Structure 1
Amino acid sequence: MSAIISIRDMLVTYDDFAALDHVSMDVEEGESFGIVGESGSGKSTLLRAVSGLAGFDSGSLTVAGKTYSGQSRTKEFYRTVQMVFQDPYGSLHPRQTVDRLLLEPLAIHGFSDVDVRIARALDEVGLGAGFRFRYSHQLSGGQRQRIAIARALILEPKILLLDEPTSALDASIQAEILNLLEQAKRDRGLTFVMVSHDLGVISHMCGRLAVMKSGKVVETVPAQALENREFSADYTRQLLVASEGFSRG
Structure 2
Amino acid sequence: MTEAVSVDNLSVVFDDFRALDRVSVEIAKGESFGLVGESGSGKSTLLRAIAGLAPASEGSIRVEGRKLQGTRRDKAFYRSVQMVFQDPYGSLHPRQTVDRQLMEPLAIHGIDDGERRILKALDEVGLSSGFRFRYPHQLSGGQRQRIAIARALILEPSILLLDEPTSALDASVQAEVLNLLEEVRRAHELTFIMVSHDLGVVTHMCDRLAVMQGGRVVERLTSADLVAGRIGEDYTRNLMVASKGFRRETA
Shift in Å at residue 69 of structure 1? 2.3
Once residues 50 and 108 of structure 2 are traced to their aligned partners in structure 1, the CA distance between those partners, rounded to angstroms, is 21
1:8, 1:60 within 8 Å by CA — same for their partners in 2? yes
Matching of residue 117 in structure 1 with residue 97 in structure 2: no
Q: In 1, distance between residues paired with 2:248 and 2:118?
A: 39
Show the counterpart of 1:226: 226
* Rounded Cα–Cα distance in structure 2 between residues aligned with 1:31 and 1:136: 31
Task: Report the Cα offset of residue 246 of structure 1.
Answer: 8.1
Cα distance in 1 for partners of 2:171, 2:80 equals: 30
Report deviation, 1:10.
0.5
Cα distance per residue 1:166-207 (max 9 Å; x no partner): 001011100100011001001100000000000000010001
Amino acid corresponding to residue 171 of structure 1 in structure 2: A
* 1:20 corresponding residue in structure 2: 20
Deviation at 1:248? 8.7
Letter in 1 for 2:158: K
Give the match's secondary structure for 1:27.
strand
1:18 deviates by 0.7
Paired residue secondary structure (2:50)? helix
Equivalences for residues 127-166 of structure 1 within 5 A: 127-166=127-166
**CA-CA distance at 1:247 after TM superposition:** 5.0
Secondary structure of 1:93's counterpart equals coil
Aligned residues: percent identity? 67
Tell whether the 8 Å contact from 2:85 to 2:91 is kept in structure 1 after alignment.
yes
> 1:58 touches 1:70 (CA, 8 Å); kept in 2?
no
Per-residue deviation, 1:149: 0.1
1:40-72 deviations in whole A, cap 9, x for unaligned? 000000011011112211110000111012202
Q: Distance in 2 between matches of 1:248 and 1:223?
A: 17
Separation of aligned partners in 2, 1:77 and 1:11: 21
Whole-Å Cα distance in 1 between the matches of residues 158 and 234 of structure 2? 35
Amino acid at match of 1:81: V
Query: What CA deviation, in whole Å up to 9, does each residue of 1:107-144 have, x standing for no partner?
Result: 00110110010011111111001000111110000000
Give the letter for the 1:75 counterpart. K
| Distance (Å, rounded) in 1 between the aligned partners of 2:205 and 2:160 | 13
TM-score normalised to structure 1 length: 0.97
| 1:89-110 Cα distance to aligned partner (Å, 9 max, x none) | 1000000000000000000011
SS at match of 1:83: strand
Partner SS state of residue 178, structure 1: helix
What's the offset of the Cα at 1:244? 4.3
Residues 12-91 of structure 1 aligned to structure 2 (within 5 Å): 12-91=12-91
Secondary structure of the structure 2 residue equivalent to 1:106:
helix
In 2: Cα distance, 1:46 partner to 1:236 partner: 19
- Determine whether 1:194 maps to 2:194: yes
* More off after superposition, 92-101 vs 227-236: 227-236
Structure 1 residue identity aligned to 2:143: Q
Runs of at least 4 residues off by over 4 Å? 244-249
Query: For the aligned residues, what is the CA RMSD?
Result: 1.3
The one-letter code matched in structure 1 to 2:116 is V
Does the 8 Å contact 2:33/2:192 carry over to 1?
A: yes
Q: In 1, distance between residues paired with 2:170 and 2:244?
A: 19
Contact preservation (8 Å) 1:56, 1:69 = no
Question: Is residue 240–residue 246 contact of structure 2 (8 Å, CA) maintained in 1?
Answer: no
| Paired letter, 1:143 | Q
Conserved? CA contact 1:59–1:69, under 8 Å: no
TM-score (norm 2): 0.97
Pick closer, same or farther for the CA change 1:234–1:150 going to 2, 3 Å: same
Secondary structure of 2:39's aligned partner? coil
Quick check: 1:10–1:56 contact (8 Å CA) kept in 2?
yes
Q: 1:246 to 1:236 in 2, by over 3 A?
A: closer
| Partner SS for 1:95 | coil
